[in-house]
Structure 1
Amino acid sequence: MSRKPKLYYFNGRGKMESIRWLLAAAGVEFEEEFMETKAQFKKLLEDGSLLFQQVPMVEIDGMKLVQTRAIMNYIATKYNLKGKDLNESVLIDMYVEGIIDLMSFIIAMPFQPDDSKAKQKDLIKNRAVNRYLPVYEKALEGHDFLVGSQLSIADVHLLEALLMVEEVQDDILSLFPRLQAFKQRTSEIPTLKKFLQPGSNRKPIPDEKYVATVKEILYS
């Protein structure tokens, strides 16, 4: 029996959360080692496990993979979440890149000074409503999935992003009925429904402890 993938990151969302979502969507169980001390991070560096001296890092299929998008592309390809051909694959990549752009604003917000967070929240809402969400609303016209006839990495990312923007403003999808229906529909896919239940590997909204741990380990 092959070993479960092992994820090395902090006990929080950050750049690892989308990897957790993707593995969960594929029905793949995984283990996690949370970095809680600078010594743990230093050991990974000294072992040569972090090619660019950064996390996330995922051990899978005998490899130690770094760089978030490379990790996600490997998982998506391995578990048939990248479309049926090259044309679908590049469309999926385009949609994924847009979603990552949107999520990056949200991921950064907990690390900003308190007096900047309101401005960042306004920026997120503006970009979501006027730049990103309309693209996905249009793409879903007459379709259950963003690309093709089956779930892809783009759909998994989109569901994650929709839940994240709702945490910023809970009624933000009110102008996007197709996205509301998409959220409901994909949340009922068995593997994703399981991941959305309490007690799963899904991480909560970043709190002060998470932010302090990341800063202590990476920047002190």
Structure 2
Amino acid sequence: MDVIDLKSREVFSYEGRGVASLVDEPNLKIRQVGLEPGKEVPVHMADAPVTVQVVRGEGVFSAGGESVRMGPGKLLRIPKGAQMGIRNESMEPLVFLVIKTPLADEPERDSVLATKPGTFVNLIDFAPPKPGKEETFREWFHNSSQVFAKHPGFISRTLLGPIDGGSRYAAVVEHESKETFMDMHLSDDREELFLQVEPLVLGSSTPHFYETLLSYRK
């Protein structure tokens, strides 16, 4: 028996949004999402059948071009492939469960998804490391990548270094989908790790988001 205290797993850590992974099994994934008033989960494609249940508060849930305002006591079922999004238009926090049930007959996804169209790519343009902090910065990238690799949907994270006298670093992060990337992006891990790197660089880092269209590798 496994009892999960939902109240203790509420997260609002990143700009009023947060995600806690409660169950992560091959055919069952449950995440608890918290949204402060005015916050939202951007529209994205459901990569598996999804059931949404509100724990507390009230939100506007959209799927397949339709929207419904929903509070506790109801379930919303969303088919795989539907475009879905959530907004908290109320004055109170919204907490809800996202229950995914990947189809049992779906083949296991290989980690070599970088060659597949639709892969979500985040290109991070880091500010230059502070003098004497380059080795510490590289060590931070190595350690943080090991943490991020444990998140569902992670494919790869690559650090690019400067050449010809340059000073800026860049990183290429690949995820199976925008949804899995957002789960990682709103996690406690991401907030804590990027707070650690702030003292190591001269300024803010700039993210750029892309979708893989074609990829050829020898």
Bigger strand share: 2
Normalised by the length of structure 2, the TM-score is 0.27
Structure 1 length-normalised TM = 0.27
- Give 1 or 2: higher helix fraction: 1
Larger CA Rg, structure 1 vs 2: 2
